[in-house]
Amino acid sequence: MRNESLTPEALPESLAGFVPATTPETSKHADGTLVDKYGRHVTYIRLSITDRCDFRCTYCMAEEMTFLPRAQVLTLEECLRIVNTFVGLGVTKVRVTGGEPLVRHNAVWLMEQIARLDGLKELVITTNGSQLERYAAPLRDAGVKRINISLDTLRADRFKEITRVGDLAKVLRGIDAARATGFERLKLNAVMMRGRNDDEFIDLVQFAVDKGIDVSFIEEMPLGEIGHGRQETYFSTEEAIARLQTRFTLLPSAESSGGPARYWRIPDTQTRVGFISPHSHNFCDSCNRVRITAQGELYPCLGNNDAIRLLPLLRAHPTDDAPLRQAIMHTMGIKAKGHDFTGQMNAPQVVRFMSMTGG
């Protein structure tokens, strides 16, 4: 691995004005991995390959969205260059997300290329499932190991309300196609919303049990300005667990997928039930990830607006990855200690939508 100088003078022009808050010693650990100034190892990246989506989920997007012009979006080759550079810095897990990653033309090509990178252990994706009927087998053949599929409701009319345009039957067929294809693991993701789907948590878990897959419940996060007040719909993990316990036995599990979810097992089933609780259980101490948006911004923290723009760097140095590596290492120095969404539910603390940063 090359050992570039990390002095501010050595920063490329596109990072002008950016004051590195770190030194080489704090931004890159001796073992070759990325370490932030709080000692957290970054081994996982989430890459959004498009800001576009075929759904308009009410908690994620506004009804009218303006999407990025194509020239401002990373090409798939640029995506690969970024991932390759991170893998060279010790990243072992990549999640491809969006927007909806499977609406991006040639997304499967990118997965194939990423899966082949030396040093990468796990390639996973998050999808809304709308295209899975068609892409489950090609994704598995490309080397994708696990898929997270968003599913907030099992009722077709509600599904249409929540996604504004989605077709539940198509997503359910996509889930079955993925099950038939044989991924290592499939997981459903449901955003918890009081008055919108909280009466279905038990049904969603039963559905996961019947299908032999996992399910995670996510507390809604205040990302982007949307149509409803989030305080009204906020539903806590604690209350959800109590509700599920009226039907299921939940055994706490020490298992982890390396992420913020805390898991429970249902005895005599294949199913793990996870909770991602950015409000009630802040997971920042063990954060091991950074996010890259479709326009090439590197966000070291989901709950914070600090970012570095990688796209100008990539385009200014088409054949030299050293400036990109430097920028990545410097970004470790600005990774926030944590986020705090408390009291921020109605006014978005983070101005971008989840579809921008990637879930």
Q: By CB under 6 A, is residue 355 in contact with ligand SF4?
A: yes
> Residue 189 binds which entry of ligand SAM, ligand SF4, none, with Cβ cut-offs from 5 to 8 Å by kind?
ligand SAM
Q: By CB under 6 A, is residue 290 in contact with ligand SAM?
A: no
Q: How far is the CB of 191 from ligand SF4 (least distance, A)?
A: 8
Tell me, what amino acid is at 113?
A: Q
Question: Nearest Cα to 201, choosing from 273, 128, 262?
Answer: 273
Q: How far is the CB of 152 from ligand SAM (least distance, A)?
A: 7
DSSP assignment string, 152-205: --S-HHHHHHHHSS--HHHHHHHHHHHHHHT-SEEEEEEEE-TTTTGGGHHHHH
Contact with ligand SAM (CB under 6 A) among 45, 87, 168, 218: 218
Contact with ligand SAM (CB under 6 A) among 22, 27, 189, 277: 189
Q: Considering only 35-43, 92-100, 239-247, 340-348, which stretch makes contact with ligand SF4 by CB under 6 A?
A: 92-100
Q: How far is the CB of 112 from ligand SAM (least distance, A)?
A: 20
**Residues in contact with ligand SAM, shown as a per-residue x/- string from 83 to 122 under the rule CB under 6 A:** --------------xx-x----------------------
Applying CB under 6 A, the site for ligand SF4 has a residue count of: 13
Sign of CA dihedral 176, 177, 182, 188: negative
Q: Is 166 left (phi over 0), alpha (psi -120 to 50) or beta?
A: beta
Q: Considering only 51-59, 233-241, 284-292, 310-318, which stretch makes contact with ligand SF4 by CB under 6 A?
A: 51-59
| Nearest-angstrom CA–CA distance, 278 and 339 | 8
Q: How far is the CB of 12 from ligand SF4 (least distance, A)?
A: 31
Residue closer to ligand SAM (CB basis): 8 or 343: 343
Judged by CB under 6 A, the chain residues 115 through 174 that form the site for ligand SF4 are: 128, 150
How far are the Cα atoms of 15, 18, 291 from residue 304, in angstroms, in the given order? 19, 16, 11
Q: By CB under 6 A, is residue 271 in contact with ligand SF4?
A: no
Residue closer to ligand SF4 (CB basis): 28 or 291: 291
Q: By CB under 6 A, is residue 317 in contact with ligand SF4?
A: no
Sign of CA dihedral 167, 169, 170, 172: positive
Q: By CB under 6 A, is residue 20 in contact with ligand SAM?
A: no
Contact with ligand SF4 (CB under 6 A) among 100, 200, 297, 321: 100
Structure tokens given for 328: 């990545």
| Nearest-angstrom CA–CA distance, 33 and 51 | 29
Q: How far is the CB of 69 from ligand SAM (least distance, A)?
A: 20
The torsion angle over the Cα atoms of residues 20, 28, 327 and 325, rounded to 10 degrees, is 160
E-assigned strands of the chain?
A: 34-35, 41-42, 44-48, 93-97, 122-127, 146-150, 185-192, 214-219, 251-253, 262-265, 272-276, 289-292, 297-299, 308-309
Q: By CB under 6 A, is residue 355 in contact with ligand SAM?
A: yes
The torsion angle over the Cα atoms of residues 95, 101, 106 and 109, rounded to 10 degrees, is 10
Q: By the criterion CB under 6 A, which residues form the site for ligand SAM?
A: 53, 59-60, 97-98, 100, 126-128, 150, 189, 191, 218, 220-221, 223, 354-355, 359
